[in-house]
Amino acid sequence: MNIQKVGIVGAGQMGNGIAHVMALAGYDVLLTDVSADALEKAMIVMSGNLERQVSRGKITEDEHKNALAQITTTQKLSDLGDCDLIIESATERETVKQAIFEDLLPHLKPETILTSNTSSISITRLASRTDRPEKFMGFHFMNPVPIMQLVELIRGIATDEPTYNACKEVVERLNKTAASAEDFPAFIVNRILMPMINEAVYTLYEGVGSVKSIDDSMKLGANHPMGPLELADFIGLDTCLAIMNVLHDGLADTKYRPCPLLTKYVEAGWLGRKTQRGFYDYRGDVPVPTR
Ligand SMILES: CC(=O)CC(=O)SCCNC(=O)CCNC(=O)[C@H](O)C(C)(C)COP(=O)(O)OP(=O)(O)OC[C@H]1O[C@@H](n2cnc3c(N)ncnc32)[C@H](O)[C@@H]1OP(=O)(O)O
Ligand SMILES: NC(=O)C1=CN([C@@H]2O[C@H](COP(=O)(O)OP(=O)(O)OC[C@H]3O[C@@H](n4cnc5c(N)ncnc54)[C@H](OP(=O)(O)O)[C@@H]3O)[C@@H](O)[C@H]2O)C=CC1
């Protein structure tokens, strides 16, 4: 299938990163969100990230301009009717995603491929609520999208080969690497990464270390580019908690029990960088640990 126009639903940190790399690769991009503010902010963030790539000599000024010109925004899902590929990247909540697909389906061409950037939710279950489970896939980017090399491709039980191959070709055109993952809770990366982050929060909760000592230990002692708590803030604590809940519910093993301290931060609305407060407070010049 020839994919030229890509519709992206959700203009948060992942949606804008996906729009950025798709536009740079020459796809026509239509980015949608329920919030006009989110769309406006996404255009500013993409422009800033493209500018940074220009200043580091990764792309030219023309590529920057052309990429931005490939992206249009809309608040109406019905505008996505002529897209060849949809990548849903809204909030990590199954009911939100199901409602989006339900609203979107009547407007789509029969051949349009539907995908979700979900971090953890069953692709088979999401697909089964649509009219095209064979054309439905998990298309899971990593954060920050313009930098990270990997895209996990997850087949649902009914996904057909042409759909998988079409998505793999898109990943190749983005100059990224596809990893195929089976459809089980949180797939590969988050099945491994999220319990580590959750364990870091338990380490904080039990007073084994402070935010700074935990992050320093993993950066200097295990050579991770970010400490686990800094990374949790970067991903979004709501997303981390949602993924742990999917692991806990889906695998029914107490080893995936979300740390009560993670729940408390989310209940406070301290979701990390996106709300300017999480395990660190980002409101000043430098991030300050909150514990
Ligand atoms: C939750 C899920 O479902 C799945 C996930 O995504 S899990 C999260 C996976 N991501 C990670 O684990 C990220 C871990 N962190 C890192 O790799 C690094 O800290 C980092 C790449 C984010 C930043 O690296 P750094 O060395 O501290 O910063 P810096 O030198 O300023 O940036 C490195 C590059 O990243 C770019 N960058 C940094 N932050 C960025 C952002 N938010 N958006 C876009 N680009 C960004 C910079 O422009 C720079 O690009 P070049 O190398 O092309 O010049
Ligand atoms: N954060 C990460 O590191 C990664 C996240 N993911 C996955 O990507 C998806 C998005 O995550 P992320 O970008 O971090 O989240 P964000 O919270 O940054 O963005 C989500 C966006 O979706 C919008 N949204 C909510 N409901 C709807 C709707 N019905 N229609 C359209 N837009 C909607 C939100 O608007 P509003 O704010 O107004 O509610 C918000 O702008 C999630 O499934 C997540 O698990 C995948 C890889 C990495």
Range of the domain at 125: 5-182
pTM of structure: 0.97
The pLDDT value recorded for residue 188 is 98
What is the domain-level CATH number for residue 210?
1.10.1040.10
Strands, E, within the chain: which ranges?
Answer: 5-9, 28-32, 71-74, 85-88, 113-116, 136-141, 150-155, 177-181, 280-281, 288-289
Last residue of a domain, one of 139, 164, 182: 182
Statement to judge: residues 200 and 70 lie in one domain: no
Is the per-residue pLDDT at 130 higher than 90? yes
Q: How many domains is the chain built from?
A: 2
Q: How far is the CA of 228 from the centre of ligand 1 (A)?
A: 14
Tell me, yes or no, if 140 is annotated catalytic. Answer: yes
Catalytic: which of 88, 89, 140, 198?
A: 140
Known binder of ligand: residue 33?
yes
Task: Output the CA–CA distances (angstroms, integers) from residue 279 to 194, 230, 265, 282, in the order listed.
Answer: 16, 7, 8, 10
Contact 50, 44 (CB under 8 A): no
Complex ipTM value? 0.95
Last residue of a domain, one of 151, 182, 213: 182
Number of neighbours of residue 192 by Cβ within 10 angstroms: 10
The pLDDT value recorded for residue 47 is 97
The pLDDT value recorded for residue 1 is 78
The CA distance from 63 to 103, in Å, is 34
Q: Is the CB of 235 under 6 A from ligand 1?
A: yes
Q: What one-character DSSP code corresponds to residue 174? A: T
> Given the CA of residue 37, which atom of ligand 2 is nearest to it?
38
Statement to judge: residues 149 and 265 lie in one domain: no
> Given the CA of residue 193, which atom of ligand 1 is nearest to it?
7
Provide the pLDDT confidence category of residue 142 given band limits of 50, 70 and 90. very high
36 CB-contact burial (10 Å; exposed 0-12 / middle 13-18 / buried 19+): exposed
Last residue of a domain, one of 159, 182, 205: 182
Express each pLDDT in 159-173 by its tens digit.
Answer: 999 999 999 999 999
What is the domain-level CATH number for residue 132?
3.40.50.720
The pLDDT value recorded for residue 213 is 98
The CA distance from 50 to 53, in Å, is 5
Statement to judge: residues 174 and 234 lie in one domain: no
Span 143-157, average pLDDT? 98
Statement to judge: residues 196 and 169 lie in one domain: no
The pLDDT value recorded for residue 7 is 98
